Amino acid sequence: MPLLAEDRAILTARRTLSICVVAAEIAAAESIGENLERLGYPVFATQSPAQALERIRDGQHRVALVEMNLGETSGMEFLERALEIDPGVYVILMGAASPLELAVDAIKRGAYDFLEYPVNWAHLERTLERLGEEFGRRAHIRDLEDRLLSHLEFHGIVGRSPAIIEVFERVQKIARHFTNVLVVGPTGSGKELVAWALHKLSPVASQRFAVCNCSALVDTLLESQLFGHVRGAFTGATDTRPGLFEYANGGTVFLDEIGEMSLGMQSKLLRVIENREIQRVGSPEVRKVDVRLVAATNRDLRAEVMAGRFREDLFYRLSTLEVRVPSLVERIEDIPLLVQFFLKKYNQAYGKNVRGLTRRAQAVLLRYHWPGNVRELENVVSSACLTAESSFMDIADLPPHLQKPHPAALDLDDTWRPVPIEEVKRQHISRVLEFCAGNRVRAAQILGIGRTSLYRYFKREARLKAKQPKSA
């Protein structure tokens, strides 16, 4: 009789679920194996727990069907070792139905199911069927996420959080029209990618994009790098060379770390911005250049202006159009997607096939405060991908400082005092506001309250403050 399409689908699903049967008696293991093979599952039967674990380590099995009583090793010990080796493996333990606590304990410790032994075939088949469905669902979700990833990439910038989508929209809007843009954001947040996207979406996308890191060079070198020099302009200037502004004429110049530029260089840059003219070092000749300028910094330039370290006029020239790239903690929703993106990259680079993170490792990443932002996350994924021995990266593959509890959580405990609930509220709101650099809309989003409620709260606080007697 020909197979129905549905049956064929079931058989195909079963063929992907390779099972390792481990029983104290080899004859028992083989007999279970033969029955399962008849149902369409690929099976390996053994009486050696060590051999089974070795095969799990090699990634040969998604499922282990294990008798509780294995002689020297207990099923529980096997479970623990198997999950250590591959947190993604499904272990089904088989043993005496009582006491019930044993089964509950097994599930708590991560077993997929606990079935009676000798085998009750109806139960075993149902469990494997359910597992097959879950496995298929997961594979399907991974496949969908993979496809989704290609839609959630904006010129190399990956993200789906409202905060990063705002950036995409702003870049899209600005790119066609800008002459000068300032990109601000903490280190490793993706400012260079944003600068590149601004260029790629601009009308001069086919022209050059020249990058200069302003913090890497002393003034004299920076000046000649940007504006060029003529032969003999300074010791070592053995030839005449155009600078980046001339090189990128018609295209875009990206000045990274603009906040590190000296005041002297800032005034030279201001002239270029105002007149679109440059002078090569050592030459009186003034040359016209037609470039778009993207500048980036992780410093608070307003504060730098206040401190007298940054020219106010240059700041206003640069910041008429500003793109703020949010820190990673402001968009933790992006972490799973970024992990997947980097995993793809490093799987390819290292020739590995790591498929994801265990749930507990993912929880660790979501709780961490990411001072180095996306760059730090990329480094974590790259090294975890390299060290992971199973198909899922686990906590042990993360750097030690991530494995420790979050310091912020400890701080809270250390500074705990018995205070009224209103005081806790006040402190919390002010910390969140500080975290959002004073952005009340974002603060309200994080606090999970309406914007108007937050405004009302501030009004009430201000009224209360005004009523308080002034201290001498």
Ligand X SMILES: Nc1ncnc2c1ncn2[C@@H]1O[C@H](COP(=O)(O)OP(=O)(O)OP(=O)(O)O)[C@@H](O)[C@H]1O
Least CB distance from residue 156 to Mg ion, whole Å? 14
Question: Does the protein bind ligand X through residue 88 (CB under 6 A)?
Answer: no
Q: Mask: binding to ligand X, 324-353, rule CB under 6 A, as x and -?
A: --------------x--x------------
132 binds, among ligand X, Mg ion, none (CB under 5 to 8 A by kind): none
Question: Quick one: 192 or 304, whose CB is closer to Mg ion?
Answer: 192
298 binds, among ligand X, Mg ion, none (CB under 5 to 8 A by kind): ligand X
Question: Does the protein bind Mg ion through residue 192 (CB under 5 A)?
Answer: yes
Three-class SS of 404-472: CCCHHHHHHHHCCCCCCHHHHHHHHHHHHHHHCCCCHHHHHHHHCCCHHHHHHHHHHHHHHHHHCCCCC
Least CB distance from residue 463 to Mg ion, whole Å? 45
Residues 28-57 that bind ligand X (CB under 6 A): none
Least CB distance from residue 188 to Mg ion, whole Å? 8
33 binds, among Mg ion, ligand X, none (CB under 5 to 8 A by kind): none
Question: Does the protein bind Mg ion through residue 260 (CB under 5 A)?
Answer: no
Least CB distance from residue 377 to ligand X, whole Å? 8
Interacting residue with ligand X among 22, 79, 157, 436 (CB under 6 A): 157
Residues 414-433 that bind ligand X (CB under 6 A): none
Question: Does the protein bind Mg ion through residue 67 (CB under 5 A)?
Answer: no
Residues with Cβ within 8 Å of 418's Cβ and at least 6 positions away in sequence, in order, are none
DSSP H helices in 191-231: 191-200, 219-227
Question: Does the protein bind Mg ion through residue 378 (CB under 5 A)?
Answer: no
Interacting residue with ligand X among 190, 243, 259, 356 (CB under 6 A): 190
Question: Quick one: 66 or 339, whose CB is closer to ligand X?
Answer: 339
Q: Which two tokens stand for residue 148?
A: 């989704």
Question: Does the protein bind ligand X through residue 187 (CB under 6 A)?
Answer: yes
Residues 242-301 that bind ligand X (CB under 6 A): 298
Question: Does the protein bind Mg ion through residue 334 (CB under 5 A)?
Answer: no
Residues with Cβ within 8 Å of 129's Cβ and at least 6 positions away in sequence, in order, are none
Question: Does the protein bind ligand X through residue 199 (CB under 6 A)?
Answer: no
How far apart CA 376 and CA 407 sit, in angstroms, is 17
How far apart CA 144 and CA 136 sit, in angstroms, is 12
Interacting residue with ligand X among 56, 158, 226, 269 (CB under 6 A): 158
Angle of helix 359-367 relative to helix 373-387, nearest 10 degrees?
Answer: 160
Question: Quick one: 279 or 298, whose CB is closer to ligand X?
Answer: 298
Residue showing the smallest CB distance to ligand X in the complex: 190
How far apart CA 123 and CA 463 sit, in angstroms, is 68
Closest CA to 56 of 81, 86, 77: 86
Task: Answer whether 327's CB lies under 8 Å from 185's CB.
Answer: yes
Q: Which among 44-52, 187-195, 269-277, 394-402 is the span making contact with Mg ion, rule CB under 5 A?
A: 187-195
Question: Does the protein bind Mg ion through residue 113 (CB under 5 A)?
Answer: no
Question: Quick one: 345 or 355, whose CB is closer to ligand X?
Answer: 345
Task: Answer whether 131's CB lies under 8 Å from 19's CB.
Answer: no
Torsion on CA atoms 328, 376, 181, 304, rounded to nearest 10: 90
Q: Taking CA 407 as the corner, what is the angle to CA 401 and CA 409, rounded to the nearest 5 degrees?
A: 135
Q: Which two tokens stand for residue 462?
A: 């201000």
Q: Which among 48-56, 125-133, 372-380, 464-472 is the span making contact with ligand X, rule CB under 6 A?
A: 372-380
Question: Does the protein bind ligand X through residue 189 (CB under 6 A)?
Answer: yes
Interacting residue with ligand X among 113, 223, 378, 397 (CB under 6 A): 378
Residues of this chain that bind ligand X (CB under 6 A): 157-159, 185, 187-193, 298, 338, 341, 374-375, 378
Residues of this chain that bind Mg ion (CB under 5 A): 192
